[in-house]
Amino acid sequence: MSLNLHDIQRLLDERGPQQYGLEAVSQLEHALQCAHLAQVAGESDALVIACLLHDLGHLLAAEKDGTREHDTDRDDLHQYAVLPFLRGILPDAVLEPIRLHVDAKRCLCQIETGYFESLSPASVHSLAQQGGPFTEVQARAFLHLPHAEEAIRLRRYDDLAKVPDCAVPPLDHYLPRLAQLMLQSA
Ligand SMILES: [Fe+2]
Ligand SMILES: [Fe+2]
């Protein structure tokens, strides 16, 4: 079930140019902007690659359904759907921030004044499907999880990675370090 480097590249190259749900950018633009923001911030290779792949589950869901893009009227659980395809080929330092990036949004809505108001309309739309903001107790529990801080940082890059026509490095720029992380996990 695991993907290889070629599969990941193909998914992003072929399905990535499709629009990102209700956002103003495509899935590929979103992934590349997210990875670039992490790289500029000096994040580890693992978190840069987590940013690149964090929404790959949307592309897999669309491929499985045979549709052009993922259905925004229901929660496709993309943060979990992608995990069986990446487990065993990438380390937890990549997988866990991906798994937790939706809960990081739910957490930030609870702990940070003004965060909810900063979300794009599409993110607000999906938040409702994803269970809404965490309670105080849920947020506290989330923050104790391993890789919660990385997931929160991924989330912040994610929220900013929606700028139309933004020039950032292409997919090829990230493939050597993706291959390196896969090699290390083999
Ligand atoms: Fe996402
Ligand atoms: Fe995203």
Contact assessment for residue 160 and residue 115, using Cβ atoms and an 8 Å cutoff: no
Tell me, in angstroms, the distance from the centre of ligand 2 to residue 159's CA: 7
Tell me, in angstroms, the distance from the centre of ligand 2 to residue 141's CA: 23
Q: What is the pLDDT, as a whole number, of residue 70?
A: 66
* pLDDT digit string, tens, across residues 60-97: 987 777 776 666 777 889 999 999 999 999 999 999 99
For residue 13, the domain's CATH number is 1.10.3210.10
Q: What is the mean pLDDT of the chain?
A: 93
Reported as half-sphere exposure (CB side, CA atoms, 13 A), residue 156 has a value of 13
Q: How far apart are the C-alpha atoms of 62 and 60, rounded to whole Å?
A: 5
Q: What is the pLDDT, as a whole number, of residue 63?
A: 79
Q: How far apart are the C-alpha atoms of 124 and 77, rounded to whole Å?
A: 16
Tell me, in angstroms, the distance from the centre of ligand 1 to residue 128's CA: 14
Q: What is the pLDDT, as a whole number, of residue 158?
A: 97
Domain hosting residue 157, numbered range: 5-185
Look at the block and give the residue holding tokens 């290390």.
184
Among all ligands shown, which has an atom nearest to the Cα of 154? 2
Q: Give the model's confidence band at 28: pLDDT under 50 very low, under 70 low, under 90 confident, else very high.
A: very high
Tell me, in angstroms, the distance from the centre of ligand 1 to residue 20's CA: 10
Residue 186 pLDDT greater than 90, yes or no: no
Reported as half-sphere exposure (CB side, CA atoms, 13 A), residue 183 has a value of 6
Among all ligands shown, which has an atom nearest to the Cα of 79? 1
* pLDDT digit string, tens, across residues 92-145: 999 999 999 999 999 999 999 999 999 998 899 999 999 999 999 999 999 999
Tell me, in angstroms, the distance from the centre of ligand 1 to residue 176's CA: 24
**Percent of the chain whose predicted confidence (pLDDT) is above 70:** 97
Q: Which two tokens stand for residue 98?
A: 């991906």
* pLDDT digit string, tens, across residues 29-71: 999 999 999 999 999 999 999 999 999 999 998 777 777 666 6
Residue 16 pLDDT greater than 70, yes or no: yes
Q: What is the pLDDT, as a whole number, of residue 24?
A: 85
Number of domains in the chain: 1
Q: What is the pLDDT, as a whole number, of residue 72?
A: 72
Tell me, in angstroms, the distance from the centre of ligand 1 to residue 54's CA: 6
Tell me, in angstroms, the distance from the centre of ligand 1 to residue 56's CA: 8
> What predicted TM-score, i.e. pTM, was given to this entire model?
0.95
Tell me, in angstroms, the distance from the centre of ligand 1 to residue 27's CA: 10
Contact residues for 126 (Cβ-Cβ < 8 A; gap 6+) = 21, 72, 75
Tell me, in angstroms, the distance from the centre of ligand 2 to residue 158's CA: 5
